[in-house]
Structure 1
Amino acid sequence: MLTSTKIALYYVLFALIATGFNIGAQDISVRIYTGPLSILLSVILGTAVGLIAKYILDKRYIFRFKTRNTLHDGQVFALYSIMGLATTAIFWGFEFTFQYLFDSKEMRYLGGIIGLAIGYIVKYHLDKKFVFRASAE
């Protein structure tokens, strides 16, 4: 069993890792495609990449959750994703607001990082209460 302090430290570490995947995917995306929807598409791609990375890390190391089978894992991931809708709105709100206000890639990424940090705090509590309630052990 992990202590509260260890859970918090791991959660922060995993949030940083997922944030790195998210911002990295966005940066790669806008380097590959520079068309009119490049920023929107990069944010969507980054969100998906970060979501998958964070789900894998949270499920295994934070909540030590075991699914019964692939179908159950898909259901848990779907619920995890639904819980992420509100937190994604926070993240996107910050990222797009920073893009609008400062019109620079660096500030857009800073807004994204701030939004992700706030969103991850909210998401932990939602996941603990609604997603990872009972393991299949």
Structure 2
Amino acid sequence: MAVTGRTLVLRYTAFAVIAVLANLAAQRLVLAGADPVGGLRFAAAIAAGTLVGLVVKYVLDKRWIFYDQTTGARAQGAQFLLYALMGVVTTAIFWVSETAAWLIWGTDLAREVGAVLGLSVGYVTKYLLDRRYVFRDAREMA
């Protein structure tokens, strides 16, 4: 199924926003009631948010961006693992941006702005990697 470039960008952006909101919501749940926020709790919040955002984004990308028809637990597991591995570098961009903002300004707003900026840069990079390495079979069939 072919979609226009504009539709693809709008859809990918919307899914990135959904994943970012899921990520930040998971972080807030982990950080809730922690005063002051310590390093271990902060690390747990980032990890939980990253995992939630990754799963949400994978499901949306697979179906609505790349129209991937991969079936079977083994094949999908391998595909998800590759998808996650492609996100390692892009996740580092996000973590550095979020952590730097938190360390510099020390507020939740700064942390979340840093997260959004880092995730934005990361998602553009991630799309390019996923298109080339993770969902290449789906692209070739389209």
TM-score (norm 1): 0.95
Counterpart of 1:12 in structure 2 is: 13
* Corresponding residue number in structure 1 for 2:68: 65
Partner in structure 2 of residue 75 of structure 1: 78
Match of 2:27 in 1: 26
Q: Which residue of 1 aligns with 2:56?
A: 53
Aligned residue identity for 2:123: Y
Give 4+ residue runs of structure 1 displaced > 4 Å after superposition.
32-36
Cα distance, 1:68 vs. partner?
2.9
More displaced 10-residue stretch of structure 1: 113-122 or 25-34: 25-34
1:26-58: CA deviations, max 9, x gaps? 011100555551111000000000000000000
How far the C-alpha of 1:106 sits from its partner, in A, is 1.2
Task: Provide the rounded CA distance (Å) in 1 between the counterparts of 2:72 and 2:109.
Answer: 42
The equivalences for 1:118-137 within 5 A come to: 118-135=121-138
Equivalent AA in structure 2 for residue 89 of structure 1: A
Measure the CA separation in 2 of the matches of 1:131 and 1:36. Answer: 34
Aligned match of 1:42: 45
Name the aligned partner's letter for residue 4 of structure 2. Answer: T
SS of residue matched to 2:119: helix
Count of aligned pairs? 137
Distance change in 2, residues 1:32/1:79 (3 Å):
farther
Name which of structure 1's ranges 50-59 and 64-73 shifts more when overlaid on structure 2: 64-73
* Inter-partner Cα distance in structure 1 for 2:39 and 2:85: 28
Deviation per CA, 1:53-89: give whole Å up to 9, x if none. Answer: 0000000000000113111000000000000001000
Q: Which runs of 5+ in 2 are unaligned?
A: none
Identity %: 38
- 2:13 partner letter: V
